[in-house]
């Protein structure tokens, strides 16, 4: 069977290839298993040199790869370029993280030495998402390869072209073909890959899929499971210049057409004049946002959703909120002049409405008004997720309260919730992950620690209480 990838802005075919069968997945894992001893046995410096060559190749063809990202995801070209830049930078960050968090250490003792080293797990299955088809799987694959693992990668069925491009560049840089392989397909292919005898699963996707994976691997504790899931992220806008605050809100909620797991989904403001002013400023900025295709000039703020079905789901989510009693402030609407995947940003007032705690993966922001900061904190934590949260405030005391009380893995102040540093860990708590953050901490799940005590020679050791002391017996001479 054939998998076809299309441009969501134009509907044009971009790439086609074969769907991987269950047998294809088994064969790929077996080849990776056979390749593992040689790859893991190479010096770390040699593996790093190959990955540095991969980063250099990414730089050499940066514009072409960025264009492929833009065309396959629909995101503006300016944003695709930032994704490509993050991919290049990952190699140096992974090397630094490995040296710091998964390196080697020898400490002298009175009997010899205490040692710490890290070893790769083996064959890692990497399942990538469509919103960052290069950056997010790259963030798993690079540290996994650097640690000495082999990788079988299944990109999203929406973005196979970018995935194929990344693997081709890894091969051209010197990574052996059996060390990193790619299998294409949707849910069935992913399930087939995970049914294989892999040593680790590195997954970026929805919380619903994360729950399935937790259950699937509950009786396979030998498999390392790193889950990077979604969020129903709160952004509390409490004080400060309303227009500047609104700029932070807009970038938090609507960048990438709302298709980032760190996008703000709930805007929490104080009841009264300031809250009204924030909402009015957000509405004003929303009316100025441009939605368009990757090839538009001037470049738009955001592109389409990944597919027409994603746009339909966004409209359905808005309808459900309105049916529950929410009030439309700025309606999310389909753009008839574009492909069926285009929608405009939307804002709904959900104050006093019992809304479902779901991640709406689209440019739809819910505003909730609360009477005081205690209520704002309670509302921010009213979620089973815990990925990102943000506070807009000039008050240091409120910031101290917020960062100490908010249960999330990424907590920002006066910056968009979508801002994250590659030199820091990235991940969440609750249903946003399983306490294995990626980013700088990916080194932690790509290798396991081995601790040891070593003496150079077999020497006598001190007897413990109740133990017969070691007695040295003189050799028996001739009678």
So which residues are the catalytic ones? 228, 261
In angstroms, the CA 292 to CA 299 distance is 8
In angstroms, the CA 424 to CA 438 distance is 9
In angstroms, the CA 139 to CA 293 distance is 27
In angstroms, the CA 274 to CA 350 distance is 17
- Bridge partners of 454? 113
List, as own/partner pairs, every contact residues 325-331 make where C-beta atoms lie below 8 angstroms and the sequence separation is at least 24, other chains included.
Answer: 325/352, 325/353, 326/350, 326/353, 326/355, 326/366, 329/279, 329/283, 329/367, 330/283, 330/286, 330/287
Q: Assign 127 to helix, strand or coil.
A: strand
In angstroms, the CA 195 to CA 197 distance is 7
- Bridge partners of 100? none
Hey, CA dihedral for 249, 255, 259, 263, is it positive or negative? negative
Hey, CA dihedral for 60, 65, 67, 70, is it positive or negative? negative
Question: Residue 277: which residues within 8 A CB-CB, separation 6 or more?
Answer: 242
In angstroms, the CA 133 to CA 15 distance is 14
Closest by CA to 403, choosing from 418, 388, 421, is: 388
């Amino acid at each position: 069977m054939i998998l076809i990838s299309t441009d969501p802005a134009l509907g044009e075919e971009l790439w086609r290839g074969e769907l991987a069968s269950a047998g294809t997945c088994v064969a790929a894992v077996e080849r990776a298993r056979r390749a593992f001893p040689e790859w893991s046995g190479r010096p770390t410096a040699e593996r790093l040199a190959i990955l540095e060559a991969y980063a250099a190749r990414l730089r050499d063809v940066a514009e072409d790869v960025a264009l492929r990202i833009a065309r396959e995801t629909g995101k503006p070209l300016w944003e695709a370029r930032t994704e490509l830049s993050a991919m290049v930078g990952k190699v140096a960050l992974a090397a630094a993280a490995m040296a710091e968090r998964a390196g080697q250490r020898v400490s002298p003792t009175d009997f010899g030495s205490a040692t710490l080293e890290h070893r790769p797990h083996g064959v890692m299955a990497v399942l990538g998402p469509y919103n960052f088809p290069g950056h997010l799987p790259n963030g798993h694959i690079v540290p996994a390869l650097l640690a000495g693992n082999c990788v079988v990668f299944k990109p999203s069925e929406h973005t196979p072209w970018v995935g194929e491009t990344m693997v081709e560049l890894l091969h051209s840089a010197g990574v052996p073909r059996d060390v990193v392989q790619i299998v294409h397909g949707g849910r069935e292919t992913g399930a087939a890959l995970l049914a294989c005898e892999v040593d680790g699963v590195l997954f970026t996707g929805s919380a619903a899929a994360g729950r399935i994976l937790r259950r699937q691997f509950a009786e396979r504790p030998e498999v390392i499971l790193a889950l990077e899931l979604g969020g129903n992220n709160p952004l509390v806008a409490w004080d400060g210049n309303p227009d500047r605050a609104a700029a932070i809100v807009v970038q938090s909620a609507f960048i990438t057409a709302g298709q980032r797991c760190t996008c703000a989904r709930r805007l929490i403001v104080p009841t009264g004049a300031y809250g009204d002013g924030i909402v009015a400023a957000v509405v004003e900025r929303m009316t100025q946002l441009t939605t368009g295709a990757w090839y538009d000039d001037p470049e738009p703020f955001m592109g389409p959703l990944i597919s027409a079905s994603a746009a339909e789901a966004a409209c359905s989510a808005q309808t459900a909120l309105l049916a529950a009693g929410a009030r439309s402030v700025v309606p999310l609407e389909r753009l008839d002049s574009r492909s069926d995947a285009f929608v405009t940003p939307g804002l709904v007032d959900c104050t006093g409405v019992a809304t479902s705690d779901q991640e709406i993966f689209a440019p739809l922001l819910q505003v909730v008004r609360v009477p005081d900061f205690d209520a704002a904190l309670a509302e921010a934590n009213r979620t089973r997720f815990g990925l990102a949260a943000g506070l807009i405030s000039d008050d240091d005391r409120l910031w101290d309260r917020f960062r100490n009380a908010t249960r999330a893995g990424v907590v920002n102040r006066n910056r968009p919730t979508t801002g994250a540093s590659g030199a820091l860990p990235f991940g969440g708590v609750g249903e946003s992950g399983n306490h294995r953050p990626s980013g700088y901490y990916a080194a932690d799940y790509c290798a396991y620690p081995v601790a040891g005590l070593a003496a150079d020679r077999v020497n006598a050791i001190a007897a413990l209480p109740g133990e017969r002391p070691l007695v040295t017996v003189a050799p028996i001479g001739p009678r």
